[in-house]
Amino acid sequence: MILLISNMREDAKEGREVDMVQNFNLATFDIISDLSFGESFGGLRVRTAHPWIKAFFDIATIGTIMTQLVLLKIPIISVLAGVLVLPMLRKRLGIMSYTRDKIEKRIDQITDRPDFMSYVLRHNDEKGMSREEIQATFSVLMIAGSETTATSLAGCTYLLQKHPRVRQKLHAEIRDTFLDDKEITMLSVSHLTYLDAVIGESLRLYPPVPIALSRMTPPEGAVICGHWVPGNVCLLQMRLSYSLTVIQVSVGVPQFAAYTSPLNFVEPDSFAPERMLHEHDAKFDKDRKAVLQPFSAGPRNCIGKK
């Protein structure tokens, strides 16, 4: 984080534009790669994204385009979507190969430095994780612990810059609470109620995963928006044939749509952290805060929630 702040100060001093989206992505990927592989990508140092990061964003872009093309259900467009599969698979294989090599290198290291792998290696026995499980887990950690955090930070920063009243109130809470940076700990920060409200409201307006997350229908089935859906169906699980045609009906409510719906929140497009406070304006009494689940819900929700 010291390097991130140093880069920002240098840019400001030189009168250069500060790209916070890129800065946050470089910082979070540097941190998560260091914790996962014992070796940082070094993006903040060289001020450019590592090939692993570039490949990840390429895959995300291609995957999004391909999914939307398939949903159009036009045969010729479905074929076009199929053409996009090959470059996406190549990049995915490249990421998997790089991740596997880094994992093997980290496992071979002998170090007392605590990181994610050190906890895995403590149980390196017949009851521990296999190499395949470790690779799959660390691939998830690399993505879920970086880009989503960067997106959340970028959204929060944008909203604070657009709303000086909120920014000044948050600034006052932080400055009045801490006299020295050594006082800032995970425990002490957890008591900053307005900061917590700002983060919650930012996640509502800029959820890092704006799409619908998959859920399972109950065994007896369910009626959703007037349509019958059979039991034990994984919602949003798009099963594709080799011709890339959708062969299963899928249902879901994108998070962004739910969080900005007037059915769930009063003045849904307004950035109002006060709505998240225990003591808030009476006009927010009808807000359905239980709808806000940016980390998903249930036993398989995001492990990075806390």
The SS3 assignment for 229 reads strand
CA dihedral 124, 126, 131, 133 (to 10 degrees): -100
Report d(CA 142, CA 122) in Å as an integer: 21
Report d(CA 150, CA 8) in Å as an integer: 16
Structure tokens at 134: 């470790």
Report d(CA 285, CA 265) in Å as an integer: 9
Size (the chain), residues: 306
Within 10 angstroms of residue 25's Cβ, the number of other Cβ atoms is: 22
Structure tokens at 306: 């806390």
First to last CA, the chain: 20
- 259 touches 276 (CB < 8 A): no
Report d(CA 292, CA 282) in Å as an integer: 19
Give the distance from CA 117 to its chain's centroid.
21
Expressed in percent and rounded to 5, the helix, strand and coil fractions of the chain are 55, 5, 40
Annotated binding-site residue? 156? no
- 30 touches 42 (CB < 8 A): yes
Q: Which residues are annotated as a binding site for heme?
A: 302
Q: Which residues are annotated as a binding site?
A: 302
